[in-house]
Amino acid sequence: MAKPQAKSTIWEFLQSLGKTFMLPVALLAFSGILLGVGSSLTSDAVKQSMPFLDNTVLQLLFLWMTKVGLVAFIYLPVMFAVAIPLGLAREEKGVAAFAGFVGYAALNLSINFYLTVANVIGDAAAEKAYGVKSILGISSIDTGILGAIIVGVIVAKLHARFYTYRMPDALAFFGGARFVPIITVLVLGVVGLVVPFAWPWFAAGINGIGALISHAGPFGPFLFGTGERLLLPLGLHHILVALIRFTEAGGTQLVCGNEVSGALNIFYSELACADTNGFSVSATSFLSQGKMPAFLGGLPGAALAMYHCARPENRGKIKALLVSGVVACVIGGITEPLEFLFLFVAPVLYVIHAILTGLGFMTMGLLGVTIGNTDGNLIDFLVFGVLQGTATKWYLVPVAAAIWFAIYYSVFRFAIVRFNLKTPGREIETSEAAQPAGKKAGNSGYNGEIILNALGGADNILALDNCITRLRMSVQDMSRVDDKLLKANGAIGVIKLDEHNLQVVIGPQVHLVKNQLQSLMRD
């Protein structure tokens, strides 16, 4: 029994770790929009084509947007170091976040101590060999996002172990939650002494992944896009995405005299640098543009196919579901409400979707399109494509989206009809779909009492959280979870990862459902 339990624990940890990435990534996406709008509207080309924008007040506003938009790019490692323990902690989350910052600072101060004692600081050749940069004003080894993730995980483990630690009465003031940042300083201080010896091995491994992807040529973006979609149902896609976006695995390039690593980091550096002409295809091939054929064209085509294949009497009932899914996909870049409509009834269709998404990444790269950022939605298309001028080749995106629309519609309609797949609206309605009388939905639009009962009751839930579209939880007894009742009351999909870990796909309103469940559980 010990081995399955260990597997469950590792799985749950990876799930939770991927979820913690969403807080800084969400800010990064918004900051990118500020940066994109500000930088594009201060360019000479835009001012010449739209002279009314060339006035002092507006230009100062756009310059302010550009500067503020850099916040997530410049301080991203710090944000990961803070967000990971914040997301992983179940109690005293504020202390965990504070300890994350303390740990990141302690790590870099300790590295600085080693570099000073070893006479590396001040020696240009030695500093270059160690990759020394200014981190929070400290001359340290630039461990980037990976170093921040390591700090975050260590701090989260220390917090879980020591936030209830009891000190002797004479030192009781330093016990409990206050002990967490104290032990963090000591542990990360020791880790900082090890980093100068261990980091070259980490860096070599990441560089090896980057070399593998770069040598794959146009198939590199294809493998990334397909792999990211295949990992999404497991909730592990965030780890792959972070690796490509923020580390050497996504490439390294000299931008405005600075060496920048990671596809998204390169794109943002070029966006903020006045001396660059256009964006690097090698970086943007892994970014928003690759998603656009599937997100702006393919999945809406799949939704239309599912609507046309539904029973005539059911089309009115599923129209709102499909339309809301298309809007979330096209406007917000949130695809799960559509993907989970066919993932479980036709896994082969999902694999085809993943391959077609990968082909979208490869095609955009081969066509020389250069649209960056993270979401692949209509906003990214307008801000980082259209507003940046024709050099981005944004005009090719609608063409590709139209082709993907036709492919998805044809493939999905053929498969649904030929194999009688039970996509929404094709099933025969039963009384199970109705909510029990006397139960009212909350402000989320979902009935929390029914969902809680379907999950086995409050005493069956050991841990509860959410990501963008899913409830993530650990349950005591999986047999008490009623899949049919969950789906009959708004759940798009139910994913049982193992005997204790469960995900319920709700949609964009999932955070309201989680809050509703937590309130009911407290009561």
For residue 5, pLDDT over 70 is answered with no
Instruction: Report residue 436's pLDDT band, with 50, 70 and 90 as the boundaries.
Output: very low
Question: What integer pLDDT is reported at residue 427 of this predicted model?
Answer: 66
pLDDT band at 400 (very low <50, low <70, confident <90, very high): very high
Candidate list 256, 309, 329, 467, residue with the active-site label: 467
Asked if pLDDT for residue 470 goes beyond 60, the answer is: yes
Q: What is the pLDDT of residue 222?
A: 93
Q: Is the pTM of this model over 0.75?
A: no
Of the spans 45-49, 407-411, 444-448, which averages the highest pLDDT?
407-411
Domains in the chain, please, with CATH? 2-215 (no CATH), 218-429 (no CATH), 439-522 (3.30.1360.60)
Residues of the chain with pLDDT > 90: what percent?
A: 26
Going by C-alpha positions, the residue among 383, 355, 517 that lies closest to residue 452 is 517
Other CB atoms within a 10 A radius of the CB of residue 438 amount to 6
Mean pLDDT within 389-413: 94
Q: Considering the chain, what is the average pLDDT of its residues?
A: 83
pLDDT of residue 45: 63
Q: Mark whether 467 is an active-site residue.
A: yes
Higher pLDDT, 121 or 202: 121
Predicted local distance difference test score (pLDDT) of residue 327: 87
Q: Are the CB atoms for 99 and 155 separated by under 8 Å?
A: yes
pLDDT surpassing 70 at residue 434 = no
pLDDT score recorded for residue 410: 95
User: Which of 100, 105, 111, 106 lies closest to 139, judged by CA?
Assistant: 111
- Which residues face 466 on adjacent strands? 471
Alpha helices in 378-427 (DSSP H): 378-380, 396-418
Please tell me whether residue 159 adopts helix, strand or coil conformation: helix
Q: Could you give the CA distance from residue 98 to residue 80 in angstroms, rounded to a whole number?
A: 12
pLDDT grade, residue 328 (50/70/90)?
confident
SS3 state at 308:
helix
